[in-house]
Amino acid sequence: MKILITGASGQLGREWVRYLEDSDHEVSACDSTALDITDREAVHSVLQTEEPDMLINCAAYTDVDGAEDNPEMAYSVNEIGVQNLAHACNRHQVLLIHYSTDYVFAGSVEDKKKLPDGYDEEFPPSPNNVYGKSKRGGEIAIEKFADRWMIIRVSWLCGQFGENFIKTMLRLSQEKDRLQIVDDQTGSPSYCFDVVEKTMKLVELDQTGIFHVSSKGAITWYNLTQEIIRLSGSNTALEAVTSADYPMKAERPAYSLLNTQKIENLGLEPISWKDGLKRLMNQLNELNHDH
């Protein structure tokens, strides 16, 4: 199969490139300098030249607080750019794989009571920040304009490449004696290696539509950090705080657990959040040794 990856320099894009290195697939990887997805003509021209069977879109504007200050930027990449990909994939008969986010849901405390197993794929999105709204715009564009497509929603995405919460906590736990971590936002991490493996299995199962890929277990950022500290052997003391103690530009969902029953029904077993964390920290150790 010929696979084109957009956004190939981000944490998920780099995970895909690494994953496909030893595969039989022919891979073209474009970062934002090689392909700006907001440029419609450029998108069509790349698809015409490359003739991929499948396009995996990892390009996104992901600065959640930055999106509040730069809504045009967020919408141009997350909605208009995705619309360009949807049109082009439709015209060139390419399967479009796209990644979206838990932030398309309201994430209210009421939802937490109503939906103890998390949001499923059928639940009506209702984002409450610019980033979530722009990502929802991209989903709608795909449903409207693409022919064969899959949208994978992930939450708390973290992997061995790029910046993410787990790598930040590992660094801070080396530098500081004490950390304050938010304990009133509940969700579950999606690990890049797991997201990539599950996406590929869904492709092999010839699936289309929307899927949630996350790990098993509802936790807070504080719970996650406790386990990071435990596994790393750091002596940093942790203090649980509320979101109100850390005012940020964008409103964060209090509850963004994704329900993974749909992939489970297809025989794809979600990784537990602790096992995923252990595996990711092993990957990070190996990376450090290689450098």
The upper half-sphere exposure of residue 249, i.e. CA atoms within 13 Å in the direction of its Cβ, equals 11
Q: What is the largest CA-CA distance in the chain?
A: 56
Give the residue numbers marked as catalytic: 131
What would the two tokens of residue 73 be? 């930027």
Structure tokens at 172: 């801070």
The rounded distance, in Å, linking the Cα atoms of 274 and 214 is: 12
d(CA 184, CA 196): 29
Dihedral, CA atoms, 4, 10, 14, 16, nearest 10 degrees?
-50
203: nearest Cα among 100, 97, 120, 99: 97
Which residue reads 């539509």 in tokens?
Answer: 209
Exposed, middle or buried by CB within 10 Å (0-12, 13-18, 19+), for 233?
exposed
Q: Are strands 95-101 and 54-57 parallel, antiparallel or unpaired?
A: parallel
HSE-CB of 216 using CA atoms within 13 angstroms:
9
Q: Is the Cα torsion angle 159, 164, 165, 167 positive or negative in sign?
A: positive
Q: What is the DSSP string of 199-266?
A: HHHHHHTT--EEEE---BS-EEHHHHHHHHHHHHT---EEEEE-GGGS--SSPPPSB-PBP-HHHHHT
